[in-house]
Structure 1
Amino acid sequence: MDKKLLSLLVCPLCKGNLILDKEKSELICKFDGVAYKIDDDIPVMLPESGRALSTDEKLAK
């Protein structure tokens, strides 16, 4: 994913910063505990499409 695009994207729920997880192709909001998938380099940023993070994922750096 393009770093410039990543710097412009924010969480649709809290407007906070997102963390790119390249292995899972997801953008993660640690504050809300939600991960948004990336399909074919296009982030799916709909709140209802987000996946709740597990406790281990929330605690990981």
Structure 2
Amino acid sequence: MAINEKLLEVLACPQCHGTVRWDEKLGGLVCDQCKLLYEVKNDIPVMLIEEAKKL
């Protein structure tokens, strides 16, 4: 699964408000600044800080 490029343009890390990128290997959105992974469940990004996984 890949994420829509237009969606990536508007999504931001809820913690630092920086950009996120799709990581196919991890299967989610990654904030390189915060070192957090936001999982995608049922094709919906879960952009909650308390649900993010530390990398």
Q: TM-score under structure 1 normalisation? A: 0.81
* Partner secondary structure for residue 5 of structure 1: helix
State percent identity of aligned pairs.
38
Partner of 1:8: 10
Could you tell me how far 1:23 is from its partner in structure 2?
2.6
Secondary structure at 1:38 match in 2: strand
Greater fraction helix = 1
Q: Which runs of 5+ in 1 are unaligned?
A: 54-61
The count of residues paired between Structure 1 and Structure 2 equals 53
Residue 48 of structure 1 corresponds to 50
The corresponding residue for 1:33 is 35
Q: Whose radius of gyration is greater, 1 or 2?
A: 1
Q: Which residue of 2 aligns with 1:58?
A: none
Q: Structure 2: state its 5+ residue gaps.
A: none
Please, what is the CA RMSD of the aligned residues?
0.8
SS at the partner of 1:6? helix
